Amino acid sequence: MAETLEEPSDDVRIRRSWAKAVAAGDLVGRLFYSNLFEIAPATRPMFPEVIEDQAKKLLQTLNWIIDHLDDMETLVPAAESLAIRHIRYDVKAEHYPAVGEALIATLRQGLGPAFTSEDEAAWLRVYAQLSQVMTTAAYPTR
């Protein structure tokens, strides 16, 4: 069926929805952290009180990750070292799902109906793969 063949890949869905979200600028980062702190209030004290700088770092890193979704040889080792750095921020594997939920909630709020259930499914799949790579590297004996 032609429609099926023309279905965008997960990477394409992620690039498109992310491009729309970052068009809103710094707001995306702030929205992400307010979602995270609502979903997982226990993570709030892990971050500095003023979240702006952290929000910028997160956005830059997500931009980089999304730019490299088609370059696993580069992406995987970078994601692994990012995860290993997170051990010293006291991050546990159990925190990763809340970050994924907050990210998807942010896209849903930011894009409204332009963020489709297919887009959401693509984000869920890719975030699951990314967090698998990250948690396996940081917590190998789990």
Would you tell me the crossing angle of helices 72-87 and 117-138 to the nearest 10 degrees? 60
Give the contacts of 27 (CB within 8 A, at least 6 positions apart). Answer: 110
Name which of 139, 62, 58, 60 is nearest 95 in CA terms. Answer: 139
- Give the CA dihedral 104, 66, 13, 5, nearest 10 degrees: -140
Minimum Å distance from CB 84 to ligand HEM? 9
**55 forms part of the interface with ligand HEM (CB under 6 A):** no
| Contact between 43 and ligand HEM per CB under 6 A | yes
Do residues 64 and 15 touch, judged by C-beta distance below 8 A? Answer: no
Q: Which of 58, 102, 111, 137 binds ligand HEM (CB under 6 A)?
A: 58
42 belongs to the binding site for ligand HEM (CB under 6 A)? no
Site for ligand HEM in 76-115 (CB under 6 A): 82, 85-86, 89, 91, 95-96, 99
The residue among 12 and 92 lying less far from ligand HEM, judged by its C-beta, is: 92
16 by Cβ neighbours in 10 Å (0-12 / 13-18 / 19+) ranks as middle
The reply on whether position 129 binds ligand HEM by CB under 6 A is: no
Q: Contact between 48 and ligand HEM (CB under 6 A)? A: yes
Q: Smallest distance from the beta carbon of 102 to ligand HEM, in angstroms?
A: 9
Q: Which structure tokens are listed for 139? A: 């917590």
Query: By the criterion CB under 6 A, which residues form the site for ligand HEM?
Result: 43, 46-48, 54, 57-58, 61-62, 82, 85-86, 89, 91, 95-96, 99, 130
